[in-house]
Chain A
Amino acid sequence: MGLFADLRDSISAVTAKLFAGEGEDPKRIGIYGPPNAGKTTLANRIARDWTGDAVGPESHIPHETRRARRKENVEIERDGQTVSIDIVDTPGVTTKVDYEEFLDHDMEKEEAVRRSREATEGVAEAMHWLREDVDGVIYVLDSTTDPFTQVNTMLIGIIESRDLPVLILANKTDLEDANVQRIRNAFPQHETIELSALEGENMDEVYDRIAEKFG
């Protein structure tokens, strides 16, 4: 029994490495979306589930993630196969940043200006990476807010124009106002998976789809 179990495990491990394309670089999967959609919460959930480490601090303050953060070699196992990805958590993409918004979060002007400056640099960097440096995109939307925004439309258009595989996640389904169908209606050309990254709800399906889409 032990011998057969060991043999079976060895074969599974070899098969998994073959599927993962051992020797190839992990695919760089950018987590994009508007500010406060829950991108860092999702990135942390994925990183903790598969590596035990977090990616970065989560916050309700817009632009808490002001620099792209990468978690390398996240190996996601699904059905005996392993998909190896680098997760890139990016700042929320926007076309405007006003330091005065930060003043509403009990910050001094100097700190608010510093944050807004970092946020603009982070968004510029994220846009550059989208054109040059990611192999696929997880696009995170807050399912309690209207997805029909110009930034979302532009970002999805940019992603499509680059032929990048994209998975749309309708996050925050633990909240009462969540409306996943509204997101499905906004981007019917893409598969939308609902989840609560905060509560860890439906993450199994998210991992299945990540493995299918980016594996």
Chain B
Amino acid sequence: MPEQDPGDGVQLDLISAERMEGKTSMEKIRMILDSVHDGDIVVLEKGLTPDEESRLIEVTMTEINPDGFTGIEIESFPRSETKDSGLLGRIMGKDEDPAKLTVIGPANQIQSLHKDETLISALLKRQ
């Protein structure tokens, strides 16, 4: 991710499926957790596989420390069986495989992460 001075803002990283393509599971997890450690919110156009989700939880646990990183908040839409383009696909002008969309952020900065059938809503703490 490009390094920026966040100031009082929160950086939102929208990661396309293309950017994740060809990466190993651990490379994906590292990319996600590096961003979350920086206080960023990560939105994956294509979610992780169940095995990758399991490893994400495992690696997250090993990196939790009492000095600041308390873990992650995560929400996903389930994989769609239809071929309709997803939200991020439309934002990025893509019309490909509608894999699930996943939002991941630092637990200590996200006040609540709510999901219903059509909306994922993140409430961030003020700095």
Q: Is the CB of B58 within 8 A of A127?
A: yes
The tally of residues in A whose CB lies under 8 Å from a CB in B reads 26
Majority secondary structure of chain B interface residues (helix, strand, loop or mixed): mixed
Tell me what chain A mostly uses at the interface: helix, strand, loop, or mixed.
Answer: helix
Interface size counted on chain B using CB atoms at 8 A: 26
Once the chains bind, are A127 and B64 in contact (CB under 8 Å)?
no
User: At the interface, yes or no: A99 with Cβ under 8 Å from chain B?
Assistant: yes
Residues of chain B within 8 A of A120, CB atoms compared: 61-62, 64
B85 contacts partner chain A, Cβ-Cβ < 8 Å:
no
Smallest CB separation, A121 vs chain B (Å): 7
Contacts of B107 in A (CB 8 A): 95-96, 98
Kindly state the separation between the CA atoms of A95 and B106 in the bound complex, as whole angstroms: 10
Taken together as a complex, chains A and B put the C-alpha atoms of A96 and B61 apart, in Å, by 7
Query: By the criterion CB–CB under 8 Å, are A116 and B66 in contact?
Result: yes
Q: Is the CB of A123 within 8 A of B61?
A: yes
Contact of B11 with A by CB under 8 A:
no
Q: What is the CA–CA distance of A99 and B67 in the complex, to the nearest angstrom?
A: 10
Among A97, A117, A121, A130, which residue has its beta carbon within 8 angstroms of that of B54?
A: A130
**Contact (Cβ within 8 A) A99 B66:** yes
**CB-nearest residue of chain B to A116:** B66
Q: Which chain A residues border B61 with CB–CB below 8 Å? A: 97, 120-121, 123-124, 127
Considering the chains assembled together, what is the distance between the CA atoms of A96 and B66 in angstroms? 12
- In the assembled complex, how far is the CB of residue B106 from the closest CB belonging to chain A, in whole angstroms? 9
Q: Indicate if the CB atoms of A96 and B62 lie closer than 8 Å.
A: no
Question: Is residue B16 contacting chain A, with contact meaning CB distance below 8 A?
Answer: no
A1 close to B (CB within 8 Å): no
- Given contact pairs A154-B53, A157-B53, enumerate 13 new A-B contacts (beta carbons under 8 Å): A95-B107, A113-B66, A116-B66, A120-B61, A120-B62, A123-B58, A123-B61, A124-B58, A127-B54, A127-B61, A150-B75, A154-B76, A161-B51
Top 7 nearest A-B pairs (CB, nearest first) are A96-B71, A161-B50, A96-B107, A124-B61, A120-B61, A127-B58, A98-B70
